Amino acid sequence: MSLFGASSGFGAGGTSVFGNATTDSHNPMKDVEVTSPPDDSISCLAFSPPAMPGNFLIGGSWANDVRCWEVQDNGQTVPKAQQMHTGPVLDVCWSDDGSKVFTASCDKTAKMWDLNSNQAMQIAQHEAPIRTVHWIKAPNYSCVMTGSWDKTLKFWDTRSPSPMMSLQLPERCYCADVVYPMAVVASAERGLIVYQLENQPSEFRRIDSPLKHQHRCVAIFKDKQNKPTGFALGSIEGRVAIHYINPPNPAKDNFTFKCHRSNGTNTATPQDIYAVNAISFHPVHGTLATVGSDGRFSFWDKDARTKLKTSEQLDQPITACCFNNNGNIFAYSSSYDWSKGHEYYNPQKKNYIFLRNAAEELKPRNKKW
């Protein structure tokens, strides 16, 4: 029986794959642990695209490495390969055919990792750490988009050492997402820019941020026709904004919701508020997952404006998450994100990547057909 098939009850029973782990706060949801996780905080995760048979997971870390695991149907994970940068890896992405992985690092370079030959070569250069990397596959061009703390967004043909295009950002790039023909970049000082990618990339619109605090993560969502139609933006203040690009009724259709908060709901007790570290949309249902510095993941239905599930609290922040291409697997990483400063850093604590069956829990409750 396939562990990640739709019919699997994995994660539902009381028996964990690893024996009885009831008191185990590092994995309270009893999810599958990925073998040989990185030795320092995990910054990014990405599953292989639909063009590739099977499921392969890429993870980048502050130990300067990027690793590849094969996730088998029975839930076993097999470490396949790894590559190094000379600084922490901040972002990873796949080419659409699954043959290459792109990595962005604090060493101010981005690399292209050919998985068949296991060779990595530099394909991009900035004057400061590169925070984001995305593959763009257009009908008339393909390129890699890098966003950096040097306040530029650059587009690279992987065969040339200089960029095809360089666009100035108002501030340092903090997060970005691409779903052709749309890109969105969120920067320091709450900058927010949407780009259109047809024919060649160009600025489409600057948006006043719907959030009052520092931008932390962004993810584009699609409409029923599978076209990108808006984005979810998360901040360090435990809040997510759902923003449509051209909504029929902006005042009604765009909204924000609180998440990753604990304790006081009334004014007498102060509320603990945590950063939203990552947002990922389910590829089939269009529902979304958020993960936070509070050590929880939550699943949401943005159309019904309801929460579908919140996890138990892990003993560390959750730093990254992603779904595999058919939406059956939800991967999330547990590591210290330095949100409470150096005094809360415990070098004895290990880093983990967990896999959860996401086939059922992310279905909208009452589908409107």
What does the DSSP assignment read for 99-111? Answer: SEEEEEETTSEEE
Average pLDDT over residues 119-123: 98
Region 126-136 average pLDDT: 98
pLDDT at 251: 93
User: CA 37 to CA 352: how far, in whole Å?
Assistant: 6
For residue 46, is pLDDT > 50?
yes
| pLDDT over 70 percentage in the chain | 92
Average per-residue pLDDT for the chain: 93
Least confident of 12-26, 41-55, 209-223: 12-26
Q: What is the dihedral of CA 85, 89, 91, 97, to 10 degrees?
A: 30
Return all residues near 208 (Cβ < 8 A) that are at least 6 apart: 192
Nearby residues of 311 by Cβ (< 8 Å), 6 or more positions away: 28, 29, 296, 297, 298
The residue with greater pLDDT, 15 or 191, is: 191
CB count within 10 Å of CB 253 equals: 13
pLDDT the model gives residue 12: 41
Q: What pLDDT is attached to residue 269?
A: 81
> What is the Cα–Cα distance from 350 to 56, expressed in whole angstroms?
22
The b-or-e profile of 188-219 (16+ CB within 10 A means b, else e) is eebbbbbbbbeeebeebeebebbbeeebbbbb
**Amino acid (1-letter code) at residue 87:** G
Contact present, 136 and 178 (Cβ < 8 Å): yes
Please report the pLDDT score of residue 268 as a whole number.
Answer: 74
For residue 20, pLDDT over 90 is answered with no
Instruction: Provide mean pLDDT across the span 174-185.
Output: 98
With pLDDT > 90 as the criterion, what percentage of the chain qualifies? Answer: 88
Q: pLDDT value at position 1?
A: 37
The DSSP code for 16 is B
Query: In whole angstroms, what is the distance from residue 237 CA to residue 253 CA?
Result: 22
pLDDT score at 13: 40
Averaged pLDDT, 135-160: 97
Confidence tier at 23 by pLDDT (50, 70, 90)? low
Type of residue found at 207: I
Higher-confidence residue: 23 or 332?
332
pLDDT at 182: 98
**What's the rounded mean pLDDT across residues 13-25?**
52
Residue located via tokens 């996730």: 71
> Mean pLDDT throughout 35-49?
98
Cis peptide before 161 (omega within 30 of 0): no
Confidence of residue 253 (pLDDT cuts 50, 70, 90): very high
Q: Is the pLDDT of residue 58 over 90?
A: yes
pLDDT at 367: 56
| Distance of alpha carbon 135 from alpha carbon 256, whole angstroms | 29
Closest CA to 280 of 335, 235, 351, 220: 220
Q: 21: which 2 tokens?
A: 């782990």
Q: Rounded to the nearest 10 degrees, how much is the dihedral formed by the CA atoms of 237, 279, 140, 201?
A: 0
* H/E element, 233: strand 228-235
pLDDT of 183: 98
Statement: residue 104 has pLDDT above 50: yes
Average of pLDDT values for 191-199? 98
Q: Give φ, ψ of 342 to 5 degrees.
A: -70, -25
Cα angle for residues 289, 261, 346 (degrees, 5° grid): 90
| Phi, psi at 357, each rounded to 5° | -70, 120
Between 268 and 255, whose confidence is greater?
A: 255
The confidence score (pLDDT) of residue 8 equals: 39
